[in-house]
Amino acid sequence: RCHTDERPFRCPECGQCFKWNGNLTAHQRIHSAEKPHRCSQCGKTFCSMYSLRDHQSLHTGERPYLC
């Protein structure tokens, strides 16, 4: 699957397809109220660890991306 466009994992809610089951699982949190990733600084919760990591830069002032 790495070098093909095969996407066998389909979201039953919206029909979006994914190459990996883990990506589907993370995507499905968008359709639910599940937000298992909590900011240790302010308590805000997120559906993905990537969103949490982006949010945490507000507290640290870190800007890993250049314009």
Say whether pTM exceeds 0.95: no
Q: Predicted confidence band at 30 (pLDDT cuts at 50, 70, 90)? A: confident
Q: Predicted confidence band at 62 (pLDDT cuts at 50, 70, 90)? A: confident
Residue spans of the domains in the chain: they are 1-32, 35-66
> Can you name the CATH fold of 1-32?
Double Stranded RNA Binding Domain (3.30.160)
Nearest by Cα to 39 from 52, 21, 57, 54? 52
The answer to whether residues 47 and 29 touch, using CB atoms and an 8 Å cutoff, is: yes
Q: Predicted confidence band at 32 (pLDDT cuts at 50, 70, 90)? A: confident
